Amino acid sequence: MMLATLLEHEDDPLVLVQDEPALHLAMPQVFRPPRPPVAFARPRVPVDRLARRAVEATQREDAATFGETYGELTSALQPMLQWAAASWDYLLSTEGCRFLPRPIGERRYHRSDYRAVAEPDYARLIHRTFKDRLLTYVPAEHGRSFTGYLRQSFWPTVREHYRQLNHPMDVRHRTLTPLSYLRCTPYQFLNEYHEGLVHEALRALTATDRRVLERYYLQFFTTEASGEAVGLPLPLFETAQATALRRLRGHSALAYHLLRQIERY
């Protein structure tokens, strides 16, 4: 059974609020990156010439030549790509877990609209980063050695692309914690009784109060986006939010504390 915690807010009496279960993710503990290969490319493959051919094909908008050359480069640079793939545990240990939105059909069977990034997703990110480095390669600017350019920029770009996954897909959303990503959006309580109690209490409020609380607490909109969604400028939204919370607390103290508890996640 889940433990219970007594939470005290302002001058309210103590209210019993059920703790959420601990989030146990099997996180690796690897804080030293794998040693990069001595050679990023297979021997006796003209990588630099292939890279220049890909650049010229891009400039001519020759998709067929670019695709063929990209395949040859992917094969030639397997030592680099395999090293990046072997760095998955290191990246997960040092950067933490990231999340991706679920397909619409999949959301029907899960409480969360997001899922954790897994190793196959990371493999796709590696290849996306490699293609990005190839498309941005300019020999006159970055030097004639494509492998030298990759040594300088490939891994930092992989790490940056992974970090960017921390930003919500919807610009209206706040940056969330891992537990929140596994539970939203929109937010749903694990306890069915709490889920029903909060929504019943919200239905007892006015339409404006309900929308104010739903946008901010249950859909994780930023304060600015929440105000825009309900048609209120920022100062008026903040006032409306405080008023709606006060009315919710008057209707159901437990619903009020459960809603405020979401902020901890």
Cβ atoms of 251 and 205 closer than 8 Å: yes
Q: Do both 90 and 198 map to the same domain?
A: no
**Within a domain: 237:** yes
Give the domain extent around 108.
Answer: 47-166
**Closest Cα partner for 196 from 252, 115, 112?**
252
Domain count, the chain: 2
pLDDT, position 22: 54
State how far the Cα of 146 lies from the Cα of 153, in Å rounded to an integer: 10
pLDDT, position 107: 82
pLDDT, position 201: 97
Cβ atoms of 187 and 219 closer than 8 Å: yes
| Strand ranges in the chain using DSSP code E only, listed in sequence order | 4-7, 15-18, 99-101, 114-116
Block means of pLDDT (10 residues each) for the chain, length 265 residues?
38 50 68 96 96 97 98 98 98 94 85 88 98 97 96 98 91 84 73 93 97 94 96 97 97 94 76
Cβ atoms of 257 and 15 closer than 8 Å: yes
**Within a domain: 27:** no
pLDDT, position 2: 35
Sign of the CA dihedral with 69 first, then 72, 74, and 77 last: negative
pLDDT, position 189: 83
DSSP category for residue 187 = T
Q: Do both 53 and 118 map to the same domain?
A: yes
Q: Do both 85 and 111 map to the same domain?
A: yes
Which among 119, 137, 166 is the end of a domain?
A: 166
Q: Do both 124 and 91 map to the same domain?
A: yes
Q: Residue 232's domain is classified under what CATH number?
A: 1.10.10
pLDDT, position 225: 97
**Within a domain: 67:** yes
State how far the Cα of 74 lies from the Cα of 134, in Å rounded to an integer: 11
**Within a domain: 138:** yes
pLDDT, position 182: 74
Q: Do both 124 and 186 map to the same domain?
A: no
Alpha carbon of residue 154 to chain centroid: 21
Q: Specify the 3-state DSSP secondary structure of 163.
A: helix
Instruction: Using alpha carbons, list the distances in angstroms from residue 58 to 67, 109, 135, 190, 254.
Output: 10, 43, 8, 50, 61
Q: Specify the 3-state DSSP secondary structure of 194.
A: helix
- Apex CA 242: angle with CA 241 and CA 245, to 5°? 85
